[in-house]
Amino acid sequence: MLEKTEKIRDSLKRFLWFNSEKSSGPPVSPSPAPPAQTSGPRDGQDDFARQLGPILARRDVVAAGRLQLINLARISDRIGGRWTDVADKVHIVVERILQRRLANTDLYRRYGEHTYILVFGELAKEEAEIKSALIAKEISEKLLGANAESGEDGVLVQTVVADVNGKLAVEEVDALNIIARLLEQAAQAGAAGRPAETGPQASGARSETDNPGPMATGVAWRSSPGKGSKGGVFEAAARRQDPAWQAPAPYRSRPRSLRDEVDFVYRPIWDVRRSALLSFLVIPVPKDAMPEPLTGGEIFWPNPEPWLVSELDVLTLECARRNIDALFRKGRRLVLSCGIHFETLISPASRKTYLGICASLAEAWRPYIQFEIKGVGQDTPNSALADAVSRIRPFGRSVFLHLPFDCGSLAFVEDCGVQAVGIDNGNSSIGEAEKMAQHTFLAVLAKAKRFKSFAYGIDSLSMATSAVCAGFDFVSGQAICSVERTVMNAYRFNPSDLFMKVARTP
Amino acid sequence: MSHILIIDDEEDARATFQDFLEGEGYRVTLASDGGQGIKMFEADRPDLIITDLLMPNKEGIETILELRKKNADVRIIAVSGGGAMGRLDFLDMAKGMGADHVIAKPVDLDELLAAVRTLLSAPAPSRSDYPTSGLR
């Protein structure tokens, strides 16, 4: 089976080379003499491929967000029929800017009529996006005048990302917003009497650009779009037209108290067999709380009322729906996993509300929603569990079942339609040695019953090693990857990644 | 007399290694997990460490990485069940991250003794920067 990374690389090569051979665009225009610091496509495609090879071999440039596109299509549209007359001059201008702004470790290549592919050898995604945004702004100003801005009518910046199946997609970078934030930071730095930090090393820049818009959290989704952000307007309009956004009336009319108290974070789930972080747990957390120690709704309140649990399940699903929608709009495909408590599914009123939201999920989104049933005991009747699973199964990719930690048998789970069973270590206070013994027992049991298995709440390297060695298919927790404020791209993740932090700590 | 520290959470394994190696004339001390092993290493400075990989509280590879930061020259043998566990080969990873020799359980005591003698008789290797491989 082809590893995900190889798939992405193959896809990338096709994208860069094979597809480009079919391009109807003009040949690469002759470039002026380049300065020393630039590594461009001056010797044609072979040279570009030769230089790109080591970068692809060294790192996963797509997963790292280092592959950016600069798109001139909007400028071409704006110029109209005169584009063919001025195209060669435009490309000379663009290449001069690229050669001046890119580092020795970066590469670029023109692709087709309007697009430049930029490969940043060393930068992180947000750094690459900032640099691309600044380049786009400079190109826009050069071509359209000093007051021109990149984005809406100017140069478009896009990041190449990989979806859950390893296919490539492009994600639009909100260049206007990035530049506005940089200017704001510069102004603040100036007011504070210190040099402006325009680079992404500034922690503020990193967090802001990591969290570019309404996809980030429930809070950000509801907030007004920032200066220059079009996403909020477009998405609001789309929501009005999209039947998937019509939540059931009973829920819409409820008080918003819990909704206003809850925020969401996202924890990557390691698919051990595929060596990748491909799906994300949607985790509710109290607003203003430090999310790192929290693992989910179980510790949200010590003894939650049933209606609070059901409400939380609904909010979690709504959050996932917003994110799936935002991801789709950006051309990305990642699986989001939503916890749902068993009691929500057995109570007629809460079940009706929850299933109403499920039914409103667009068909296309359902392969990217995963349900995780919690709160089941070994004494749960098999028929009740099977009934609960059958009600939500049509609306998602799969149904995982959280077992009680001391579960000794899977008889009550058999033939009830779940795809995976597992445990959340964060909900148990027993020692690591006992947890490791239970890992081995449960993983073997699940395999014997032909279930996939998962272990969440992994908070130490010992527990991570134990979970992987026991044979769990999916592993998640603080020791694997910290929570994120935003759903990120899919990442390659190997066992050696577990130990990188220790190896690098002086 | 060379001093060997054995780190293993399984009491039977510790006792077996201890009996065998003391019978061969080595001084042996024992630790039940990586954290305790590192403390004993700092206190006693053994010549060689035999560590299990899959242990609670502080597992083997993490222990090896920390030992290498404290002393790049101490000889380390990593021992683990089956070698390849699931689809992973943690023993290979252990070697990449600083173990001088790796042995899969069940341990062949003759192989263990040969490895101990070889490592203790060899001059201290020159190491400056661990891990040398195994990390991307």
Q: Which of A125, A151, A173 is the last residue of a domain?
A: A173
- CA-CA distance, A267 to A402, in Å (whole number)? 16
pLDDT over 70 (residue A266): yes
**Which member of A435, A469, A494 has the closest CB to residue B85?**
A469
Distance from the Cα of B59 to chain A's closest Cα (Å) equals 5
Q: Which of A198, A214, A238 is the last residue of a domain?
A: A238
Count of residues for chain B? 136
Mutate to test the interface with A, among B53, B88, B91, B133 (most CBs of A within 10 A): B88
pLDDT over 60 (residue A251): no
Rg (CA), chain A: 25
Q: A134 and A201 in one domain?
A: no
pLDDT over 70 (residue A293): no
Which pLDDT belongs to residue A46? 57
A496 and B90 within 8 Å at the Cβ level: the answer is no
Burial A451-476 (b: 16+ CB within 10 A, else e): bbbbbbbbbbbbbbbbbbbbbbbbbb
A151 versus A167: the higher-pLDDT residue is: A167
Which pLDDT belongs to residue A386? 96
DSSP per-residue codes, A240-287: HH-GGG---HHHHTS--HHHHHEEEEEEEEEETTTTEEEEEEEEEEET
- CA-CA distance, A231 to A212, in Å (whole number)? 10
Task: Tell me the CA distances in angstroms from A304 to A297, A308, A341, A377, one per residue in order.
Answer: 9, 6, 12, 17
Which pLDDT belongs to residue B46? 95
Contact between residue A422 and residue A415 where contact means Cβ atoms under 8 Å apart: no
Taking every pair of Cα atoms in chain A, the longest distance, rounded to a whole number of angstroms, is 77
Phi, psi of A42 (to 5 degrees): -70, -25
Task: Tell me the CA distances in angstroms from A411 to A346, A385, A475, B91, one per residue in order.
Answer: 20, 12, 23, 36
**Which member of A432, A468, A471 has the closest CB to residue B57?**
A432
Which pLDDT belongs to residue A285? 80
| Preceding peptide of A381 cis, ω within 30° | no
Task: Give residue A430's pLDDT band: very low, low, confident or very high (50, 70, 90).
Answer: confident
Q: A283 and A347 in one domain?
A: yes
Query: What is the SS3 assignment for A2?
Result: coil
Taking each helix axis from N to C end, the angle separating A175-191 and A203-210, rounded to the nearest 10 degrees, works out to 150
Mean confidence (pLDDT) of chain A: 73
Query: What is the SS3 assignment for A195?
Result: coil
Number of domains within chain A: 3
Pick the closest to residue B59 from A461, A94, A151 (CA basis). A461
Rounded to a whole number of angstroms, the distance between the first and last alpha carbons of chain B is 39
Model confidence pLDDT, tens digit, residues A325-374: 999 988 888 999 999 999 999 989 999 999 999 999 999 999 999 999 99
pLDDT over 50 (residue A171): yes
Q: A223 and A247 in one domain?
A: no
Q: Enumerate the H helices of A59-116 as residue ranges.
A: 73-79, 83-101
Distance from the Cα of A505 to chain B's closest Cα (Å) equals 9
Which pLDDT belongs to residue A335? 95
Rounded to a whole number of angstroms, the distance between the first and last alpha carbons of chain A is 38
Q: A247 and A234 in one domain?
A: no
Count of residues for chain A? 506
Q: Which residues of A touch B85 (CB under 8 A)?
A: 468-469
Percent of chain A with pLDDT strictly greater than 70: 63
Model confidence pLDDT, tens digit, residues A456-495: 999 899 999 999 999 999 999 989 988 888 888 888 898 8
Q: Give the number of other Cβ atoms within 10 Å of residue A257's Cβ.
A: 9
A112 versus A389: the higher-pLDDT residue is: A389
User: pTM of the entire structure?
Assistant: 0.61
Q: A402 and A269 in one domain?
A: yes
- CA-CA distance, A37 to B97, in Å (whole number)? 36
Is it true that domain B3-121 has CATH number 3.40.50.2300? yes
- Mean local confidence (pLDDT), A302-324: 84
- Mean local confidence (pLDDT), A170-180: 68
pLDDT over 90 (residue A158): no
Tokens 């930029």 belong to: A118
Bridge partners (DSSP) listed for residue A162: A168
Q: A230 and A133 in one domain?
A: no
Which pLDDT belongs to residue A258? 75
Domain that holds residue A468: 242-504
Q: A186 and A113 in one domain?
A: no
**Beta-carbon pairs below 8 A across chains A and B:** 71
Side chain identity, residue A305: E
Report ipTM for this prediction: 0.86
pLDDT over 60 (residue A224): no
pLDDT over 60 (residue A216): no
Tokens 């003894």 belong to: A303
Pick the closest to residue A334 from A313, A319, A320 (CA basis). A320
Q: A190 and A54 in one domain?
A: no
Task: Give residue A210's pLDDT band: very low, low, confident or very high (50, 70, 90).
Answer: very low
Q: A208 and A147 in one domain?
A: no
A210 versus A454: the higher-pLDDT residue is: A454
Task: Tell me the CA distances in angstroms from A302 to A253, A263, A359, one per residue in order.
Answer: 27, 18, 31
Bridge partners (DSSP) listed for residue B76: B49
Distance from the Cα of B109 to chain A's closest Cα (Å) equals 24
Q: A351 and A437 in one domain?
A: yes
A462 and B55 within 8 Å at the Cβ level: the answer is yes
Q: Give the number of other Cβ atoms within 10 Å of residue A107's Cβ.
A: 24
Most confident region among A7-16, A431-440, B85-94 by mean pLDDT: A431-440
Model confidence pLDDT, tens digit, residues A41-65: 344 445 666 666 666 655 566 666 7
B 44-63 near A (Cβ less than 8 A):
53-62
Q: A234 and A339 in one domain?
A: no
- Mean local confidence (pLDDT), B107-130: 82
A469 and B96 within 8 Å at the Cβ level: the answer is no
